[in-house]
Amino acid sequence: MLPPLLQDHPVPSFRQLCEQYRIEKEDTASHMLTTVKRHFQTVLRDHVRQTVLTGEAVEEELGEMLRFFEE
């Protein structure tokens, strides 16, 4: 999922992802992607929390990361 974002490639459709990963339904792929995103957010937040002093700093760091990837 990251190459399209990092290498400026087109984002594959759910249909293409289903074919590539042998997933029967696009709804299933959508739910899987949502689960992965939530898990990634949790892991990233926990990791950032270990590198800063306050909870407020966690949100600031995550905001900085988001701004970096938006560019």
Q: How far is CA 3 from CA 8, 23, 70, in A?
A: 7, 20, 15
Q: Which domain holds residue 27?
A: 2-70
Report how far residue 15's alpha carbon sits from residue 38's, in angstroms, rounded to the nearest whole number: 22
> What confidence tens digit (pLDDT) does each residue in 6-51 have?
677 788 888 998 999 999 999 999 999 999 999 999 999 999 999 9
Query: Count of domains in the chain?
Result: 1
Q: pTM for the complete prediction? A: 0.71
